[in-house]
């Protein structure tokens, strides 16, 4: 067997091993349920193994969709006790318990890719027709629920919603959230070293927010008015924007009503105008902003760089972002570190404060390619390939040493490798 065939086999085996009754856990133990953006990315890997299984991954995710359209960040399909906070702590009483927040909505972008790349076109078209109303409802929820004042920028209510949990970009806003004062047992530290995970002070606030949603009876208006954490997260805004553009294409191809398409196009235009308010001429970058205090945070993260993936960058901004993009890649060898290594907050091994993620390298490579940054795109791909060949399928990687971090045999890492370069 050549090395490449062995790598493909290992990646496929990871998906098979993490397969639980039609959905895929990111990794057993640490993340024993179905996560929103993990499921989407993982479906791309399943497309290389079994196309109907790939569609099932998305169908299982949509089983957790709320009546208001939200696709939650975790679907607790069945009880497992290796994770905290589980369904009882979240307190959502739906038939299938879920969390009360969402996650970066890469879902529609993935579905569009699946339709384009499917060998079984009839199956793909049938699945798309079935799920398109749910995908539309999900995107409507984002704009209606998270931007009720129609500013063009959706807000996020929890660092977990960003998928980039302990990013230093929201340290200050999270500090303003009261910590819980009762004792609880974290379970992530049973699986992973504490120096690769968020600090206790951050967890105390994550849990405060979970309690706040429950005490607010998950009422959208109350949460929008009173949530002590509200972030204009450039990563979420960018991923949503790109996915909405792709949703519009899917709607057009499927002959959806023109009012629907116009509505989404208006949302896209609003974001294209509003994103300019997050640009910092001082940092040559877009910055995350606290939606309560309107304070911007000068911490450069892969989230802020995802504007490139969203194709939200003007020519003038691109000329300024390009040297930053290059330097960022030079600072670490394995692709784009989740925090720019020249920022004081950079920690190469601690979760979203500096390590490298394969799916983020991929999203950024797509954006780089779009803007003609071919070398940078190729660099991201080669760095990612090196990590898989030399290190393995870890959740993320120390951006200075390349060492594997977090969970091992990780679904989205295997899936992106299968989709992107294997």
The catalytic site residues sit at 165, 395
272 phi and psi, to 5 degrees?
A: -60, -35
By three-state DSSP, how is residue 286 classified? strand
DSSP code at position 301? B
Facing residues of 405 across strands? 396
Exposure pattern of 270-290 as b/e (b: 16+ CB <10 Å)? Answer: bbeebbeebbeeebebbbbbb
Percentages helix, strand, coil for the chain, rounded to the nearest 5?
55, 5, 40
By three-state DSSP, how is residue 7 classified? helix
Closest residue to ligand DGY, judged by C-beta, is 160
The token pair that represents 160 in the structure block: 């977990």
Shortest distance in whole angstroms from residue 169 CB to ligand DGY: 16
- Cβ pair 417, 7 in contact under 8 A: yes
Q: Which is nearer to ligand DGY, 49 or 80 (CB)?
A: 80
DSSP H or E stretch at residue 289: strand 288-290
Shortest distance in whole angstroms from residue 280 CB to ligand DGY: 28
Supply the DSSP string of 261-282, one letter for each residue.
HHHHHHHHHHHHHHGGGGEETT
Give the other-Cβ count within 10 Å of 385's Cβ: 18
Shortest distance in whole angstroms from residue 31 CB to ligand DGY: 7
Q: Which is nearer to ligand DGY, 165 or 408 (CB)?
A: 165
Burial of 413 (0-12, 13-18, 19+ CB in 10 A): buried
Q: Which is nearer to ligand DGY, 187 or 245 (CB)?
A: 187
Q: Which is nearer to ligand DGY, 159 or 335 (CB)?
A: 159
Closest by CA position to 171, among listed 301, 65, 270, 44: 301
Give the Cα separation of 86 and 82 in Å (integer).
9
The token pair that represents 322 in the structure block: 């390009």
Give the Cα separation of 360 and 366 in Å (integer).
10
Give the Cα separation of 4 and 366 in Å (integer).
23
DSSP H or E stretch at residue 396: strand 396-397
Q: What sign does the CA torsion over 177, 405, 354, 318 have?
A: negative
Residue with tokens 């911007």: 296
Q: What sign does the CA torsion over 203, 288, 341, 413 have?
A: positive
Shortest distance in whole angstroms from residue 183 CB to ligand DGY: 18
Give the other-Cβ count within 10 Å of 5's Cβ: 10
Shortest distance in whole angstroms from residue 187 CB to ligand DGY: 9
Q: Which is nearer to ligand DGY, 188 or 385 (CB)?
A: 188
Q: Which is nearer to ligand DGY, 160 or 340 (CB)?
A: 160
Q: Which is nearer to ligand DGY, 48 or 73 (CB)?
A: 73
Q: Which is nearer to ligand DGY, 328 or 352 (CB)?
A: 352
DSSP H or E stretch at residue 290: strand 288-290
Binding site for ligand DGY (CB under 6 A): 73, 160, 165, 188
């Amino acid at each position: 067997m050549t090395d490449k065939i062995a790598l493909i086999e290992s990646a496929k085996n990871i998906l098979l091993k993490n397969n639980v009754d039609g959905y895929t856990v990111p990794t057993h133990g640490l993340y024993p349920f179905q996560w929103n953006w993990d499921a989407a990315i993982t479906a791309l890997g399943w497309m290389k193994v079994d196309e109907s299984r790939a569609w099932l991954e998305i169908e299982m995710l949509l089983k957790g969709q709320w009546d208001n359209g939200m696709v939650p960040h975790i679907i607790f399909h069945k009880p497992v006790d290796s994770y905290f906070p589980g369904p009882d702590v979240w307190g959502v009483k739906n038939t299938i318990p879920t969390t009360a927040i969402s996650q970066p909505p890469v879902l529609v972008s993935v579905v569009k890719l699946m339709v384009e790349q499917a060998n079984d076109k009839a199956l793909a078209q049938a699945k798309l027709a079935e799920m398109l109303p749910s995908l539309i409802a999900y995107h409507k929820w984002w704009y209606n629920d998270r931007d009720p004042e129609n500013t063009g920028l959706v807000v996020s209510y929890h660092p977990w919603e960003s998928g980039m949990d302990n990013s230093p970009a929201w340290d200050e806003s999270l500090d303003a959230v009261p910590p819980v004062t009762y004792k609880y047992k974290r379970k992530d530290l049973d699986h992973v070293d504490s120096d690769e995970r968020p600090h206790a002070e951050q967890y105390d606030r994550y849990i405060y927010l979970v309690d706040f949603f429950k005490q607010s009876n998950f009422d959208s208006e109350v949460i929008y008015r009173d949530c002590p954490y509200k972030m204009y997260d450039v990563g979420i805004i960018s991923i949503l924007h790109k996915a909405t553009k792709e949703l519009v294409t899917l709607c057009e191809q499927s002959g959806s009503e023109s009012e629907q398409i116009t509505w989404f196009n208006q949302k896209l235009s609003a974001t294209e105008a509003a994103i300019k308010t997050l640009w910092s001429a001082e940092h040559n970058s877009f910055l995350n902003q606290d939606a309560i205090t309107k304070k911007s945070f000068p911490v450069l993260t892969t989230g802020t760089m995802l504007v490139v993936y969203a194709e939200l960058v003007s020519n003038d901004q691109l000329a300024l972002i390009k040297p930053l993009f290059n330097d960022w890649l030079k600072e670490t060898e394995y692709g784009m570190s989740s925090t720019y290594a020249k920022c004081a907050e950079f920690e190469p091994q601690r979760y979203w404060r500096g390590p490298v993620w394969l799916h983020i390298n991929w999203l950024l490579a797509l954006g780089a390619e779009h803007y003609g940054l071919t070398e940078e795109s190729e660099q991201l791909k080669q760095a990612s390939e090196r990590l898989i060949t030399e290190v393995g399928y870890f959740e993320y990687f120390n951006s200075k040493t390349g060492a594997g971090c977090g969970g091992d045999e990780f679904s989205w890492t295997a899936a992106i490798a299968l989709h992107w370069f294997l």
